[in-house]
Amino acid sequence: MIISGLSLNTLAILVGSVAALRVVQSFLDLRRLLRSINYLPGYRTILGSTTILGNVLPQTPLLTLGHDHSWRLKHAPFAERGLDIISAVSFWPNVIGILWIADAQTIKDIVRSRGRFPKPLDLYASLSSFGKNIVVSEGDEWKRYRKIVAPMFSDKNNRLVWDATMQVMLELFDTVWEGKDEVVIDHCVDLTQPLALFVIGAAGFGRPISWKEDSVIPSGHQMTFRDALHATLQGIVIKVLVPTWAMGFTKGFRHTRLAFDELQRYLTEMIQERKGSERKEDDHDLLSRLLAANDDENLSEGEVKLSDSELIGNIFILMVAGHETTAHSLAFALALLALHPDKQEELYQHIKRVLPDGRIPTYDDMPSLGYSSAVFNEALRMFPPANSVPKSSAENTTFTVTDVDGMKRTVTVPQGIILTLDITGLHYNPKYWEDPYTFKPERFLGDWNRDAFLPFSAGYRACVGRKFSETEAAAVLTILISRYTVSIKDEPQFAGETHEQHKARILDARSVLTLAPTRLPLVFKRRT
């Protein structure tokens, strides 16, 4: 018993000593980090925003920032400190420092540098579930992917995007909405998600899907393509956090596992079917161009073809970018038009001036439909799909920024520190955007600061599918507003709301994989 007691006492002393040493080491690391950034003002928390727990918990002072603090706070943290670069330092489980940046010139310098500020790939693990791809890569591997992927997005494909979008919208009007003078949508995403999926199916993968066909599960599958893709995007976090052996424990886990298996099967079938078909010169969908660019005859000597896993990985990323983000951004654009009927009428009159005979617009009309594009850009500014973009510093360096008093300030940047490009903070920075909280599409019709607008990122890692999304959105907004008005659905349970409460509820959003509206109940009325 005495020996046992001594052993327990010894063990307790040993554990206590280790814990004390860990605390002392963390304190020294924390002091060293703060000194290395010259005590730049900002946040000090226990949990870091790069940890799982720090992302799951809501914002709690001194404990964690929460995963979506950038979206919730916008430019306020920078305004409070009078500087467009602030710090966020945490010390559990390890001491981590992050510089949050909402200064346009600094961000421009970062995104234009190939080697000094690489992407921290470990933070993008969830996007490599189906294979390596252009987003989750750096250096020579990224160059290899970009050389094959970038040529897919050509003017011919943009024209196909416009035509496919028009076909999808006209089919919606002529079938699903046929004979209805008023259409009520309980959540706008229920409209924009299938819409975006059908466009990416036709213009992206040469796989036209009709509004009626989408409900039919093909032979050999247990889910529709749409449901498999949607459930996969919703379950990415589960896939990353839950080990494979535990994916059968709950109904939700099993549904996610099935969705990933189904989508993998769909993508494999698409590739095999296209590889076995005769390629035509007028095939301008993205998959055809991707496979063509991956042919031996189109590769330089020494270049290695993409494996099927890499093909699937890149196709999946294109679907995330061409489906999820566009669907949500279109929903926000329609909500903003519904909340601002004067801007909606301005868009309608603009369309009538460009298309006085009421004909169906073509891709060649797009340059003249500037207000349609301006509405989409303003929605992207106010609701950027990605609230932030992480980078890391490969070397010791400095940034020079101007503070609120007009004084030049030098910010020290130690090697290895994480740099977060705060897109929301940038988009709501009054230095670049007058009345940043106000919906003003017209700000995109004149001169505006392109360095302060990053919904598609910028520099050498900018989104290769930007024009695809812009073309689809301009086509949707033009044809839809030319034929229908959009308004917010009246719901009795919210009758007592103030104007600000009403607006806040309609525009409420959450940041998961991308920024998504919580619920947008809209009413579409046919114009007479």
- Please say if the pLDDT value at position 28 is more than 60: yes
pLDDT tens-digit readout, 34-45: 999 999 999 999
DSSP label at 93? S
463 assigned binding-site residue: yes
Q: Is residue 415 part of a domain?
A: no
- pLDDT value, residue 471: 96
- Averaged over 458-474, what is the pLDDT? 89
- Please say if the pLDDT value at position 240 is more than 60: yes
Mean pLDDT for all residues in the chain: 88
Q: Is residue 406 part of a domain?
A: no
Residues 163 and 296 in one domain: yes
Q: Is residue 343 part of a domain?
A: yes
CA distance 196 to 226: 10
Domain containing residue 60:
2-66+87-122
Reported as a pLDDT band with limits 50, 70 and 90, residue 282 is: low
Name the domain count of the chain.
Answer: 2
Query: Which residue did the predictor score with more confidence, 189 or 298?
Result: 189
Write out the H or E segment, with its range, that includes residue 101: strand 96-101
Q: Is residue 147 part of a domain?
A: yes
Q: What's the Cα-to-Cα distance from 276 to each of 94, 272, 288, 440, rounded to whole Å?
A: 51, 6, 12, 50
- pLDDT value, residue 52: 67
- Please say if the pLDDT value at position 1 is more than 60: no
CB under 8 Å to 419, separation ≥6 — which residues?
98, 99, 101, 110, 117, 390, 391, 392, 393, 413
Neighbours of 353 (CB within 10 A): 11
Residues 209 and 99 in one domain: no
- pLDDT value, residue 40: 95
Residues 59 and 182 in one domain: no
Q: Quote the tokens at residue 524.
A: 């579409």
Q: Quote the tokens at residue 413.
A: 């940047």
Query: Which residue did the predictor score with more confidence, 427 or 247?
Result: 427
Identify the CATH number of the domain in which residue 256 sits.
1.10.630.10
- pLDDT value, residue 346: 98
- Averaged over 363-371, what is the pLDDT? 97
- Please say if the pLDDT value at position 523 is more than 90: yes
- pLDDT value, residue 67: 77
Reported as a pLDDT band with limits 50, 70 and 90, residue 381 is: very high
State the pTM of this model: 0.90
Residues 330 and 366 in one domain: yes
Residues 323 and 367 in one domain: yes
Q: What's the Cα-to-Cα distance from 192 to each of 201, 332, 490, 527, rounded to whole Å?
A: 14, 10, 20, 20
Residues 170 and 300 in one domain: yes
Q: Is residue 143 part of a domain?
A: yes
Residues 55 and 160 in one domain: no
Residues 112 and 23 in one domain: yes
- Please say if the pLDDT value at position 147 is more than 90: no
- pLDDT value, residue 20: 74
- Please say if the pLDDT value at position 91 is more than 90: no
Residues 35 and 169 in one domain: no
- pLDDT value, residue 478: 98
Beta-bridge partners for 422: 388
Query: Which residue did the predictor score with more confidence, 268 or 398?
Result: 398
Which one of 122, 146, 169 terminates a domain? 122
- pLDDT value, residue 281: 59
- Please say if the pLDDT value at position 417 is more than 60: yes
Q: Is residue 333 part of a domain?
A: yes
- pLDDT value, residue 512: 72
β pairing state of 96-101 and 418-422? parallel
Residues 176 and 109 in one domain: no
Q: Is residue 421 part of a domain?
A: no
Neighbours of 31 (CB within 10 A): 11
Residues 230 and 323 in one domain: yes
Residues 166 and 32 in one domain: no
Q: Is residue 468 part of a domain?
A: yes
Give the whole-number percent of the chain exceeding pLDDT 90.
51
SS3 content of the chain, % helix, strand, coil (to 5): 55, 10, 35
- Poorest-pLDDT segment among 118-127, 188-197, 341-350, 451-460: 118-127
